[in-house]
Structure 1
Amino acid sequence: MPRQTRLILCPINLRHVQMEYSAYTEAVEMARRRGARLIVATVAPEIERNMNIYNSEAYWGEELKKFVAAHPADGIDVELIVRKGATHRQIVKLADERNVDLIVMESANPKVQDYLLGTTASHVVTHAECSVYVVRN
């Protein structure tokens, strides 16, 4: 008997979202087909490189709201979350804390060759307790 997917986590790297957001599109469609809720999350850095950003969690929270508003997930219960820290660790931690059934994420930083699995995706695949769907760029 197949497992029921109730909650999907889709981590978004907002620094590269102009180039690729195919994992988000895939996560929205999966949530729609499966009747699942969707968590869209981003991870703010511990130390912000941009000196004009004083509160990185608030800044990236607003950017995440703008992204979802620009790419609506009509008919899906969407929750937005901003975490702070190491991206790969925060994704796994969030998935564990929220009992996520599935993580849908991009495969690599857009600068990395297509044949390589990104270090963040690789860590999440290795350490997550739930299933992970990796979308190639």
Structure 2
Amino acid sequence: MFQKIMVPVDLAHLGALERSLTAAVDLARHYDAALCYVGVTTSQPSSVARTPEEYAQKLKAFAHEHAADSRHEPTVRVYNSHDPVADLDDILVRAIDEVDADLIVMGTHLPRHLDAIIPANGSKVAGHTKASVFLVRPEAPE
């Protein structure tokens, strides 16, 4: 059913993505699909990496560690942006075509009133691609 699963990853917020990352690996195993981890970074030094090359190395290491028991070698794609927050949606839509993904598994947040003004990344991605988009919410606080 699915052959290539794209997983957007923010290395600075892996804890918030735990459920979506786990779901992506489970779906990849179930459908015998390949995983492609996509990251967006800036050329400016950040808390994660000093350069886009260092970011790419860290994302590749993460992908191999996280999908270690997958049947397919995980791939990574890193995009450089002057403003990753502003460009994220457009970059993810472009990445879907470039990696030939047919399923995107991405973390999202719990609904907020602000979403009416600034929609979540997942809704724009879902509205601008033919691929299926699986949004995984974090666990709700009790």
Q: 1:48 aligns with which of 44, 47, 50?
A: 44
Instruction: Tell me the distance in 2 between the aligned counterparts of 1:52 and 1:10.
Output: 18
Instruction: Tell me the distance in 2 between the aligned counterparts of 1:63 and 1:51.
Output: 12
Instruction: Tell me the distance in 2 between the aligned counterparts of 1:123 and 1:60.
Output: 25
Whether 2:71 is the aligned partner of 1:76: answer yes
Q: Residue 20 of structure 1 aligns to a residue in which SS?
A: helix
Q: What's the CA shift string for 1:86-122, capped at 9, x where partnerless?
A: 22111110111232110000013xxxxx224662222
Residues 73 and 54 (structure 1 numbering): CA distance in 2 closer, same or farther, change over 3 Å? closer
| 1:102 counterpart residue number | 103
In structure 2, list runs of 5 or more residues that go unmatched.
82-86
Q: 1:16 aligns with which of 9, 13, 18?
A: 13
Residues 121 and 65 (structure 1 numbering): CA distance in 2 closer, same or farther, change over 3 Å? same
Q: CA deviation at 1:59?
A: 1.9
Instruction: Judge conservation of contact 1:96–1:129 (CA < 8 Å) in 2.
Output: no
Instruction: Judge conservation of contact 2:2–2:33 (CA < 8 Å) in 1.
Output: yes
Whether 2:84 is the aligned partner of 1:88: answer no
Instruction: Tell me the distance in 2 between the aligned counterparts of 1:106 and 1:130.
Output: 16
Instruction: Judge conservation of contact 1:104–1:133 (CA < 8 Å) in 2.
Output: yes
In structure 1, list runs of 5 or more residues that go unmatched.
109-113
TM-score normalised by length of structure 2:
0.77
Instruction: Judge conservation of contact 2:7–2:36 (CA < 8 Å) in 1.
Output: yes
Q: For the aligned residues, what is the CA RMSD?
A: 2.3
TM-score normalised by length of structure 1:
0.79
Q: Residue 106 of structure 2 aligns to a residue in which SS?
A: strand
Higher helix share: 2
Count of matched residue positions in the alignment of Structure 1 and Structure 2: 127
| 2:60 counterpart residue number | 65
State the identity %: 27
Q: CA deviation at 1:32?
A: 0.4
